[in-house]
Structure 1
Amino acid sequence: MKRDKAQRKEENGPSKKKEEKDTAALADADDLFFVFDDNNFDVAFQDCTWIIDSSASCHLTPHREFSSYTRGDFGYVNMGKGDKSSKIIGMSTICLKTNTGCRFTLKDVRHVPEFQFNLISAGGLDEDGYVSCLGEGKWNLIKGSLIVARGKKENKLYMIQEKMCRGLIT
């Protein structure tokens, strides 16, 4: 039925009445998509999901889109019960723009292409002077009196959706 309607519309030409429609697009984490209309053209990157992990000894990511990056042999990281280890091929500093409007920096993030998730080490945040508050399905990252980021619990994991900052890191 839909095909017939679309085919008839093609045969009859465009409608005289202009319709405005909202359109949504879905993209994977690695996709770059363009959002535009007749008057504007913008480039948008999808948010990055980061998992807050209290047992991770360092921040990890499979991606290389960093503000700074050092390629090298940085050893191996053990996953799970230590049955499997993966090579760390680089380290970086990543600046994230949070859902509270703040920016914060993750230092010494390990680049492990075989890993499937972005992990933030709760212990690493603690060493950098942040306080992680977990409870009632919510996560708050606090520095001093400022709530730097907020996350929520999904499938027993605390997660945040953040955007990578482009440009200078302080």
Structure 2
Amino acid sequence: MALEEGKVKIEKFDGKDFGFWKMQIEDYLYQKKLYQPLIGEKPDDMKQEEWNLLDRQALGVIRLTLAKNVAFNIVNEKTTASLMKTLSDMYEKPSAANKVHIMRRLFNLKMGEGNLVINHINDFNTILAMLESVQIKFEDEVKALILLSSLPESWAATVTAVSSSARDNKLKLNDIRDLILSEDVRRRDSEEPSSSTSSSALNTESRGRTTQKGYNSRGRSKSRAKGQPKFRNDIVCWNCDKRGHFTNQCKAPKKNKNHKKRDDDESANAATDEIDDALICSLDSPIESWIMDSGASFHTTPSNELLTNYVSGRFGKVYLADGKPLNIDGKGDIAIRTSSGSHWTLKNVRHIPALKRNLIYVGQLDDEGHETTFGDGAWKVNKGNLIVARGKKRGSLYMSLS
């Protein structure tokens, strides 16, 4: 709830993290000079009527910060002190079941690849505070070791270096915490990947064309290993007209660029963009056209302006066909407006500012239960019986309906 015109915000206590809520409500009561009822003893120089009013005011403030499922348990408590004691007995009492629950949270705490380090450390400190509230305390070195062991695989080198440098000296939690935060800053400044996704490939900038797009007899798209062109033998070089390589890999003398004219202007524009294994899907989006790509690793966009549920951070790198790495600066969801006027929401779209193109990964659509079909001069994306998006074939590309 928000108290005093939004200046102080105390989340309603719903049965979780009692120690944190207790700290907040006590601080607020002290700030508003309503703390004396917490002690439960009336000052000698205060009249009984004044005490009763003060106690009732503090009691009301506390009740307003309780969720409904918790408030029902203290409905019969008439004083601030008795209310706080009841809550403490329920949620802070060092019972065996409560200890097991908190210990399980500690041992299962693992930082995910690409997650924010500061959030992970905050979660770690919260669990330690909960354990101390039920009278479980660890030595400082044990805390430091638990924190180190909770780091992801991409931090293995850091953990090894810290463990080796300590030798016979005991590790200190504050030192390890500061070291982890400093290392996180260094990685961000040097743009090093913070997760194992840095080895993923995004083969979108190669030149050439394919005579087979990777679809079965029914037209449904087939997936392939990341960065592995499954149909390389079917690729035809635009420079020498031979199979097996792209134009940017061709060793033959370069042809005059004024070669064979395409079927129409749209096909020519798409061809000069030199997109390998990708189908233009010109959906009516507020930003640029989207490309249906069977060779990418995930949905991507160079702009985060239209992304919702956006999470900023270092999520590794992707690599172009020429080996150039591009940083993944965040991820989120995006709603694309189709030519029919409906909206199609893509989940977990990666934000790659340097990519310059919007890609829809056919394999990810398949994983999410969509069926992408190509045939009879048209394409469509289905989700069950619902047609999400569709278009017609123009030249050698599958375009959306205008």
- Shorter-chain TM-score: which interval? 0.5 to 0.7
Q: 1:114 aligns with which of 354, 358, 365?
A: 354
Q: 2:344 aligns with which of 75, 93, 104?
A: 104
- Report the TM-score when normalising by structure 2: 0.27
Does 1 or 2 have the higher relative contact order (CA < 8 Å, sep 6+)?
1
- What does the per-residue CA deviation read over 1:133-168, in whole Å, with 9 as the maximum and x for residues that have no partner? 112442201111111111344564445489xxxxxx
Give the superposed CA RMSD: 2.4
State the alpha-carbon separation in 2 of the partners of residues 134 and 88 from structure 1.
Answer: 30
State the alpha-carbon separation in 1 of the partners of residues 332 and 397 from structure 2.
Answer: 24
Give the counterpart letter for 1:49 in structure 2.
Answer: S
Q: 1:67 aligns with which of 302, 305, 308?
A: 308
- What does the per-residue CA deviation read over 1:56-108, in whole Å, with 9 as the maximum and x for residues that have no partner? 11001111121231110000011225x11100001011112222333222111
Q: 1:78 and 1:158, CA in 2 relative to 1: closer, same or farther beyond 3 A?
A: farther
Matched, 1:142 2:382: yes
Q: 1:76 aligns with which of 314, 317, 321?
A: 317
Aligned position for 1:55: 295
State the alpha-carbon separation in 2 of the partners of residues 115 and 107 from structure 1.
Answer: 18
- What does the per-residue CA deviation read over 1:25-47, in whole Å, with 9 as the maximum and x for residues that have no partner? xxxxxxxxxxxxxxxxxxxx845
Aligned position for 2:132: none
Q: 1:139 and 1:123, CA in 2 relative to 1: closer, same or farther beyond 3 A?
A: same
State the alpha-carbon separation in 2 of the partners of residues 143 and 97 from structure 1.
Answer: 16
Indicate the larger mover: 131-140 or 48-57. 131-140
- Report the TM-score when normalising by structure 1: 0.60
Kindly report which structure 2 residues correspond to 1:83-102, keeping only aligned pairs within 5 A, or say none.
Answer: 83-102=323-342
Structure 1's unaligned 5+ residue stretches are 1-44, 163-170
Report sequence identity in percent.
44
Q: Which has the larger radius of gyration?
A: 2
Question: Partner of 1:119: helix, strand, or coil?
Answer: strand
Question: Partner of 1:114: helix, strand, or coil?
Answer: helix
Indicate the larger mover: 57-66 or 129-138. 129-138
Larger % of helix: which?
2
